[in-house]
Amino acid sequence: MRKPTGAAFFSIALAAIALLLAACGGGDGKQTREEATPSPVATAEPTKEAEASSFTVEVTALAVTETSTDVFGEAITERVTVGPSDTGELKVSFAESEVGGIGDMWTSAGWTAVALSSLFLGIDPRQYEFTFEPGAGIIDGPSAGGVTTVGVLAAIMGDDVRADAAMTGTINPDGTIGSVGGIPQKIEGAADAGKTLVLVPATQRFDTDLRTGQPVDVVEWGTPLGVEVQPVSTIYEAYETLTGNPLPRPTGTGSAELPPNAFNKLKASATEWMGRYEAALNRFLALPDTFGFEEDMSIAEDMAFDADSALGEGLSAVAYERAFSAGAIAESVLQAVTLADAYYIGGPDALVAEVQAMASAETRLDATLQRLEAESPRTATDVLALTDAYSNAAIALGFIDEANMLIQFLMETERTEEETLDLIFSIAISYNQASFLLDAAENNLVYGLGFGQSPPPHPEVVTAIAETVRRASDANLAVIDATIIEPEAEAYGLNPNDMKNYLMSTDAYYGAALGAASSTNYFANTIVEEPQASIAILGSSLSAWSASSLVVAKYYSLQAELDESFTVVGFGRERSLSDILNLAEDRAYELITLVGEEEPVTAIYYHENARSYREGTPEDKITALFYNWQAAIFAEALAYFNGTFDSAISQAGTSPLWEWGAVSALATGPGDDWPPER
């Protein structure tokens, strides 16, 4: 899923748009065409005797509590139980000792742990029941993500976790450990609980003492308390330290370079988009009045310059991304001038007529979905290309639904002329975004199909992970409500729904997450033939998961510092950002080389672009992190689909519980005839 492309002109009426969205809103700010609970493409019928039994492990998470007089840490024991499902349906439950005892953030940590454990172990999560039971009291916080994931992995593998150890750190979609707050106080809480080992994110060797506000070396902080503090980078490091056994980790020697054919396709697409940019620029320069949009067009010129430079350096993926952005921005600016000209010449009626013409994006969405449904993937790599295409289409659908919602509001309410203009411009913005995302979806097929060797996975395999990731994304969105929306709303004296709609209009990733999540229901009700049905749900779910994970990391783990328009100007944890970018880049490269023989074009595309954004503005760095996570997620999915993770676990010796849900058994069971003959 590409980051939604926009132009600077989108800020013309930003404050008014946010106000109008809030007035429309009430709820989530996004609407789906049909509201229904998506169901699995096909429910896996239980076919095995109950040969595996449940296994429970105890892990210790760390939390911080602030009172009016002090700040203190505490250790929280969590019991994680995994057992076989007797129905073939995914079951995840959270046992509370108090009403409302488990918050949204803890729930999100559990769902993310299930999703990542399923990928890393090559299992079908629907074959299991997962139960999370934290200690007494009311608890919450995303910093238990890492240790909760260790708990799920250990329960499936049959490994015990050290009783004298505790851990703090979020878990990112690529399996790296993310930054948290209050580590010095958490170490104190661990010491009070008798723990002698504490695992912390490797990105936070130095963290702030919440009592003094001063940075401290957390490793040295633990020494006088009798606690060994060990920084860890990935879930693999954490798992081996806490269980004493290595988590099987497949290695690969494949290439992280684009195949020649993909290189040429991206180069050709870049050239095409440069042509669109130049055509829009020439039309713009020939206009008698450009209504002050010259600065906006200069952004497109900068992107075009970067595209030319990338072509000269042989970076076709970067060239395409920049050329696409240049063309999209230039055409958006030209459209803005057209709208302004229509208004000044013909008044509101002429402006409305221009916007109505843009509603063709909805017809184009249907055509794009038909195009995607007509593609029959021949390899597992083809499935990834289609997944990314559906990701972009899902976000486009979200923007179209938003435009339709605003049109309805325009028809039903009275407003001033200025408010009407702002509302019409916001409708145009949504249609524009949708149109360019549909371009991106079709381009996914141009450069992403026709690679790889492994056959496409059985739809049941795709469905297994799609359902889990969908739930993880929903849990992430609940975390955003709890950690970002509600505190910011309180700080600014706003209704939480107003704050949600404002963030949606100012943060592209949050808007993408909501749009993709809302599209899942529509896909489930309209795309029914396999293999497209399961791939479409995977595409929308992966987009929602990756984008929402980025939002959580941006505001919680990295403490983004914003200006008055919610643009990132810095980070409270600048050093953590640098370190986590290094980890994300290394992890993406590792996963790509793991499946390099499959020619993971989609993953390589994101990885190449991530490197190019690495040293830019604060917003560019966030884009680099997101693109590296995209690269890792697609490579993870490919390793899941072709059995790479499954093979590594089976070679290392397995537990009966792992064998119960290994994807290989689902995909190649008796009488299986997938893929169908062509």
- Interatomic CA distance for residues 454 and 621, integer angstroms: 34
Contact residues for 610 (Cβ-Cβ < 8 A; gap 6+): 584, 585, 588, 623, 624, 625, 626, 627, 628, 631
- Per-residue model confidence (pLDDT) at position 27: 37
End-to-end CA distance of the chain: 29
Beta strands 177-178 and 215-217 are: unpaired
DSSP 564-582: TT--EEEETTHHHHHHHHH
Q: Is 411 buried (19+), middle (13-18) or exposed (0-12) by CB count in 10 A?
A: exposed
Let me know if domain 55-243 sits in CATH 3.30.230.10: yes
Beta strands 165-167 and 197-201 are: parallel
- Per-residue model confidence (pLDDT) at position 275: 97
Read off φ and ψ for residue 599, nearest 5 degrees. 55, 65
Domain map (residue ranges) of the chain: 55-243
Query: Which ranges of 313-359 does DSSP label H, i.e. alpha helix?
Result: 316-358
- Per-residue model confidence (pLDDT) at position 283: 95
> Would you tell me how many other CB atoms lie within 10 Å of the CB of residue 54?
13
> Would you tell me how many other CB atoms lie within 10 Å of the CB of residue 618?
19
Beta strands 197-201 and 228-232 are: parallel
* Residue in 632, 623, 624 with CA at minimum distance from that of residue 5: 623
Which residues of the chain fall below pLDDT 70? 2-51, 96-103, 136-142, 665-678
- Per-residue model confidence (pLDDT) at position 625: 96
**Kind and range of the H or E run holding 232:** strand 228-232
Which residue is associated with the tokens 């479409």? 536
- Per-residue model confidence (pLDDT) at position 26: 35
Task: Tell me the per-residue pLDDT of 231-278, one tens digit each, with 9 for 90 and over.
Answer: 999 999 999 999 999 999 888 878 889 999 999 999 999 999 999 999
- Is the full-model pTM beyond 0.75? yes
- Per-residue model confidence (pLDDT) at position 98: 53
Contact residues for 468 (Cβ-Cβ < 8 A; gap 6+): 90, 111, 114, 115, 118, 125
- Interatomic CA distance for residues 567 and 564, integer angstroms: 7
CA of 279: how far to CAs of 75, 179, 285, 335, 442, in Å?
62, 45, 10, 13, 21
* Residue in 5, 6, 4, 17 with CA at minimum distance from that of residue 336: 6
- Interatomic CA distance for residues 588 and 2, integer angstroms: 17
Which residue is associated with the tokens 């490797």? 202
